[in-house]
Amino acid sequence: MENVLDLTGKVALITGGSRGLGAQMARDYAKNGADVVVVSRNKEACEEVAHEVTQMNRRAIALSADVTKMRDIQSMLKTTIDEFGKLDILVNNAGANATNPVLEATEEEWDFIYNINLKALYFCSQQAAKVMIPQKSGKIINISSIGGSRAYRNIAAYGASKAAVMHLTRTFSNEWARYNILVNSIAPGLIATDINKDDLADPKVLDRMLKMIPLRRLGQPSDISAMALFLASDVSNYITGQTFIVDGGKSVE
Ligand code: NAD
């Protein structure tokens, strides 16, 4: 049977690909035929994911880059082009959170969140688009959050940064549609990864969270990766500028 999600011949770069959602995307993209560039600040962790990719007979490179730094972004794209000659899919997945009531938040936390969730995504997209424009094709997938559309307490700065991700997704899609660069985002709900493992280790917190999810389970990285695969594949070629919620129904409660 034909695989409508086939990515054979495509090159994907995933920021924050060393673990969590990004690592699962690297595996699932490779499983469906893509070559993958795995990026985070931790090269060793990226190498482990890249090794899994090569075990599936796809090519992979592991890169250490701090994507909040323009110099690192440019060098990561240069290495990608030197190695693979093109870039078809960029996933802006690297992100971070800080949980605090607004009254206790600090300037350092604000800068930390905005540098990784917004500045990095903005300039990674800009630099990737410069590669994709002459190719006349490309897909950019941004990872937002349901916290970007719901006003959850204690994550005000994070939520606002993820709302801006949805906005940039629309703006980029509008500016770059003429080059056949499609830009969409995914808004995950609560997914079991390192980003929230400390909070969810408390059974009372976990129980409270599960009661807020109609499907009564945490999301798994594969739930998000499935949407990232759909958006990377050719079946979604008439979709751009959109944000897709994947949250077990949490946002409808
Ligand atoms: P995670 O903490 O497990 O992974 C984050 C990744 O980003 C790591 O690989 C980390 O090394 C990388 N990273 C962070 N700062 C970086 C930098 N400056 N340069 C390069 N890499 C950097 O988290 P996750 O749960 O896999 O989250 C992935 C994305 O999904 C994030 O954008 C997060 O905001 C979003 N998200 C997660 C959830 C959830 O419940 N897990 C929910 C909504 C949105």
Q: What is the pLDDT of residues 56-103, one digit of tens each?
A: 999 999 999 999 999 999 999 999 999 999 999 999 999 999 999 999
pLDDT beyond 90 at 22: yes
Q: Give me ligand 1 centre to Cα 93, in Å.
A: 6
Q: Give me ligand 1 centre to Cα 130, in Å.
A: 24
| Mean pLDDT confidence for 149-175 | 97
* 191 CB within 6 A, ligand 1: yes
The rounded distance, in Å, linking the Cα atoms of 230 and 7 is 10
Nearest to 10 by CA among 151, 177, 139: 139
User: What's the full length of the chain, in residues?
Assistant: 253
The half-sphere exposure of 208 on its side-chain side, counting CA atoms within 13 A, is: 7
| Mean pLDDT confidence for 35-55 | 98
Contacts of 232 (CB under 8 A, 6+ apart): 7, 10, 12, 29, 34, 89, 91, 139, 141
pTM over 0.95: yes
Q: What percent of the chain has pLDDT over 70?
A: 100
Ligand 1 atom with least separation from CA of 158: 34
- The 3-state secondary structure of the chain, one letter per residue: CCCCCCCCCCEEEEECCCCHHHHHHHHHHHHCCCEEEEEECCHHHHHHHHHHHHHCCCCEEEEECCCCCHHHHHHHHHHHHHHHCCCCEEEECCCCCCCCCHHHCCHHHHHHHHHHHHHHHHHHHHHHHHHHHHHCCEEEEEECCHHHCCCCCCCHHHHHHHHHHHHHHHHHHHHHHHHCEEEEEEEECCECCHHHHHHHCCHHHHHHHHHCCCCCCCECHHHHHHHHHHHHCHHHCCCCCCEEEECCCHHHC
pLDDT beyond 90 at 245: yes
pLDDT digit string, tens, across residues 194-232: 989 998 999 999 999 999 999 999 999 999 999 999 999
- pLDDT in the model for residue 142: 99
pLDDT digit string, tens, across residues 96-130: 999 999 999 999 999 999 999 999 999 999 999 99
Nearest to 63 by CA among 102, 27, 17, 99: 17
Q: What percent of the chain has pLDDT over 90?
A: 97
Longest dimension (CA), the chain: 56
pLDDT beyond 90 at 253: no
Assess whether 158 carries a catalytic annotation: yes
pLDDT beyond 90 at 1: no
- pLDDT in the model for residue 42: 97
| Mean pLDDT confidence for 168-180 | 98
Contact 181, 137 (CB under 8 A): yes
* 188 CB within 6 A, ligand 1: yes
* 16 CB within 6 A, ligand 1: yes
Dihedral-angle region of residue 180 (phi above 0 means left; psi in -120 to 50 means alpha; beta otherwise): left
Q: Write out the two tokens for 112.
A: 């930390």
* 80 CB within 6 A, ligand 1: no
pLDDT beyond 90 at 180: yes
Mean pLDDT of the chain: 97
* Matching residue, tokens 């976990």: 206
